[in-house]
């Protein structure tokens, strides 16, 4: 295995234009290129010169069978680290551009926004910021999204506040009834209201206690008793199941109403 250095700013290529070799590695300004040759492939590694940082893939491979590089060439941009950006906020550093190694930047959010993350960061030797760059999020939550037939009650949308949802008559709530504003975002998805079928809302509960299956020591006897009860009341298994579903919906509706009061 052998390797050599190639300063791309000089554009001095060492690959011969041959049909059985890979094409010259793509040139990258303000970088130093190290090429390693093995029996099976070429490896091109790019290093940005001091004062520049790499954007893209650092290493490119070229198999001798395909004779093509596996990725586009990276670029070297001015500054040891990428320029810090804070949307809806402000940053304070010793200078604007380029960013130098070990430079420290502090952050502050605009009015009505709060900082999520560290209020400072430092440019490291590996061209990264540590701690990671923060973001500015809204201090208040936006009004919650709601679908048709959904209403909500809330005194405000400040951090820690809660909003309670309820449905119009004839509709039932599907989802969380109450959400809390945390770090500018609601704690969950807004619920929806689905229409309760007229037949379910108005149909009387016909299932009788005597026809409900109860666990006993003698299961066969209990099954026979339930079947006899259904026969006397002229009920089928589907009818019994339907009446029990109606009772379940009515109990859920009562529970929802009681929890909102």
| pLDDT for 113 | 87
The tens digit of pLDDT for each residue in 151-200 reads 999 888 888 899 999 999 889 999 999 999 987 888 999 999 998 875 45
Range name among 3-7, 16-20, 172-176 with the lowest pLDDT average? 3-7
Q: What does the pLDDT look like over 51-97, one tens digit per residue?
A: 788 888 989 988 777 788 888 899 898 888 888 889 999 988 755 56
- Which value, to the nearest 10 degrees, does the dihedral of the CA atoms of residues 173, 175, 177, 183 take? -150
Residue 131 has pLDDT above 90, yes or no: yes
- Percentage of the chain exceeding pLDDT 90: 19
Q: What is the CATH number of domain 2-78?
A: 2.10.70.10
pLDDT > 70? residue 102: yes
Tell me which fold the domain 89-138 belongs to. Answer: Complement Module; domain 1 (2.10.70)
- Domain 150-195 is of which CATH architecture? Ribbon (2.10)
Q: How confident is the model at residue 6 (pLDDT cuts 50, 70, 90)?
A: very low
Nearest to 112 by CA among 90, 88, 91, 138: 138
Comparison of pLDDT for 201 and 251, the residue scoring more = 251
Global pTM value: 0.42
* Domain spans in the chain, listed from the N-terminal domain onward: 2-78, 89-138, 150-195, 199-260
Q: Which of 3-7, 85-89, 194-198, 248-252 has the lowest mean pLDDT?
A: 3-7
Structure tokens at 17: 């234009």
Q: Is-same-fold flag (2-78; 150-195)?
A: yes
């Amino acid at each position: 295995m052998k390797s050599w250095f190639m300063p791309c700013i000089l554009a001095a290529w060492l690959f011969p234009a041959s049909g059985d070799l890979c094409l010259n590695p793509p040139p990258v300004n303000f970088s130093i290129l190290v090429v390693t040759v093995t029996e099976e492939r070429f490896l091109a590694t790019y290093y940005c010169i001091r004062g520049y940082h790499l954007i893209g893939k650092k290493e490119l491979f070229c198999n001798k069978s395909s004779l093509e590089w596996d990725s586009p060439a990276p670029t070297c941009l001015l500054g040891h680290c990428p320029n810090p950006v804070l949307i809806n906020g402000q940053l304070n550093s010793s200078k604007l551009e380029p960013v130098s190694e070990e430079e420290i930047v502090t952050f502050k959010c605009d009015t009505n926004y709060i900082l999520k993350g560290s209020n400072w960061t430092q440019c490291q030797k590996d061209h990264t910021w540590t701690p990671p760059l923060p973001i500015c999020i809204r201090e208040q939550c936006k009004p919650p999204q709601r679908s048709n037939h959904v209403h909500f009650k809330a005194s405000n949308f400040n951090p820690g506040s809660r909003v309670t949802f309820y449905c119009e008559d004839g509709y039932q709530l599907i989802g969380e009834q109450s959400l809390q504003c945390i770090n500018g975002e609601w704690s969950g998805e807004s619920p929806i209201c689905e229409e309760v079928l007229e037949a379910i809302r108005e149909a009387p509960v016909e299932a009788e206690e005597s026809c409900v299956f109860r666990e006993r020591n003698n299961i066969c006897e209990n099954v026979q008793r339930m079947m006899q009860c259904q026969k006397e009341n002229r009920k089928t298994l589907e009818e019994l199941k339907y009446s029990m579903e109606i009772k379940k919906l009515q109990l859920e509706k009562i529970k929802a109403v009681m929890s909102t009061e």
